[in-house]
Amino acid sequence: MLIYLTRRVLLGLSVVLAAIVATFILFFVGPNDPTTALCGRQCTPERAAQIEQNLGLDKPKTEQFTRYVKGLVVGTKESDGGGARDCEAPCLGWSYVQNRSVTDIVKQAFPVTVSVVAGGMVVYSIMGISLGVLCARKRGKWVDKLIVGSSQFISAIPYYILAVIFYLYGMKYTGLVPEATWTPLTQSPWGWFVGLLGVWLFYGAITSTGYIRYIRASMIDTQAQDYVRTARSKGISEFDVTFKHALRAAIAPFVTLLGLGVAAELTGAIFTERVFNLPGMGTRTILAYSQGDLPVIAGIVIVSSVLLVVANIIVDLLYGVVDPRVKLS
């Protein structure tokens, strides 16, 4: 187990390092010009040269990359164009446009995205598993056809269209659910819960459509296995057969999809945050893109790669816990 975990961590670190190199090349070695974002299109050559010198952009790319990696590991001093400021590790750089540390920007946006995704995950996990099991047990009946048909119909509609409709007619005009607002959990737990409740319900219900069909198919396959039929022949109750035998085997692939899905949602909840006006990482990415704020985009990309790697490791470990047939070695 320890050897397996060590190998996975080392592999994950190599992936993160590759992502850092690719991000640096894409944003700081490519044809992008960070000085334009700070100085504007009408910047004089003299002013541009002064900014490049202050920000260290006139140094060789290898030296810039070494300094960038050093900031991630031990911290560094970042220049804001007029002076040097301490940037503690992990230092993701300095936003030329917002005149702030990228790390501080990510720290403010990250709890918003985590809150949205975590609450939605609870909703779509409950809905996906319960409705998927129900469809499998009622296979071919009207309940099964209604749930599966509805999930396919909803999945065919673009997510952002459904989000706008829900925001207008579920929150703004009718007030069926509280309008989405962001309140930090440490400031007011109740305000945090109420402000995100509608988003969780919508986001969880829409995301559950794919998981419902997956759990249904997995349960149908599992219920046809010999050990499930043997459990029924021994007189075990249908509830125990379904939830203690069939579901445990069927849920193992679901855990893999869930872990990878959560990681992807943490890094790509752009539409949800934008439609419901939540200041998360997706909103920050769009804002940084419109302003040409390359360090913020690069920092969010690196954080996203770390999240994906961590999610992969956690999923691998949970897979062995959920499915006793899997041995981690």
Give a three-class secondary structure readout of the chain.
Answer: CHHHHHHHHHHHHHHHHHHHHHHHHHHHHCCCCHHHHHHCCCCCHHHHHHHHHHHCCCCCHHHHHHHHHHHHHCCEEEECCCCEEEECCCCCCEECCCCEEHHHHHHHHHHHHHHHHHHHHHHHHHHHHHHHHHHHHCCCCHHHHHHHHHHHHHHCCCHHHHHHHHHHHHHHCCCCCCCCCCCCCCCCHHHHHHHHHHHHHHHHHHHHHHHHHHHHHHHHHHHCCHHHHHHHHCCCCHHHHHHHHHHHHHHHHHHHHHHHHHHHHHHHCHHHHHHCCCCCHHHHHHHHHHHCCHHHHHHHHHHHHHHHHHHHHHHHHHHHHHCCCCCCC
128 and 115 both lie in a single domain: yes
Q: What is the pLDDT of residue 85?
A: 65
For residue 294, tell me if it sits in a domain.
Answer: yes
207 and 61 both lie in a single domain: no
Q: Which two tokens stand for residue 249?
A: 């085997």
304 and 207 both lie in a single domain: yes
218 and 167 both lie in a single domain: yes
58 and 31 both lie in a single domain: yes
Max avg pLDDT among 71-75, 278-282, 324-328: 278-282
Residue 115: CB atoms within 10 A of its CB come to 22
Q: What is the pLDDT of residue 200?
A: 93
Which among 87, 103, 119 is the end of a domain? 103
For residue 328, tell me if it sits in a domain.
Answer: no
pLDDT band at residue 234 under the 50/70/90 scheme: confident
pLDDT tens readout for residues 151-205: 999 988 888 899 999 999 988 888 889 889 999 988 999 999 999 999 999 999 9
In 3D space, the residue among 312, 203, 302 whose CA is nearest the CA of residue 258 turns out to be: 312
Q: Which residues pair with 76 in a beta bridge?
A: 87
For residue 34, tell me if it sits in a domain.
Answer: yes
118 and 165 both lie in a single domain: yes
pLDDT band at residue 247 under the 50/70/90 scheme: confident
pLDDT band at residue 224 under the 50/70/90 scheme: confident
For residue 217, tell me if it sits in a domain.
Answer: yes
180 and 315 both lie in a single domain: yes
pLDDT higher than 60, residue 81: no
247 and 311 both lie in a single domain: yes
Instruction: List all residues 6 or more positions away from 88 whose beta carbon is below 8 Å from its beta carbon.
Output: 75, 103
Q: What would you report as the CA-atom Rg of the chain, rounded to the nearest whole angstrom?
A: 24
CATH number of the domain bearing residue 299:
1.10.3720.10
122 and 264 both lie in a single domain: yes
Q: What is the pLDDT of residue 321?
A: 66
The mean pLDDT of the chain is 80
CA angle 287, 116, 302 (to 5 degrees): 50
**Percent of the chain, pLDDT > 90?**
15
Q: How far apart are CA 218 and CA 73, in angstroms?
A: 43
pLDDT tens readout for residues 28-66: 776 666 666 566 566 677 766 766 666 666 677 787 788
Q: What is the pLDDT of residue 42?
A: 65
122 and 229 both lie in a single domain: yes
For residue 329, tell me if it sits in a domain.
Answer: no
Which among 103, 118, 143 is the end of a domain? 103
221 and 302 both lie in a single domain: yes
For residue 327, tell me if it sits in a domain.
Answer: no
Residue 32: CB atoms within 10 A of its CB come to 14
Q: What is the pLDDT of residue 39?
A: 63
142 and 55 both lie in a single domain: no
Q: How many structural domains is the chain composed of? A: 2
Which among 88, 103, 118 is the end of a domain? 103
Lowest mean pLDDT across 71-80, 120-129, 147-156, 224-233: 71-80
Lowest mean pLDDT across 20-24, 42-46, 127-131: 42-46
Q: Which domain holds residue 58?
A: 2-103
Which one is predicted more confidently, 108 or 329?
Answer: 108
CA angle 323, 325, 328 (to 5 degrees): 85
Q: Which two tokens stand for residue 120?
A: 């939605």
Query: What sign results for the dihedral spanned by CA atoms 213, 218, 224, 228?
Result: negative
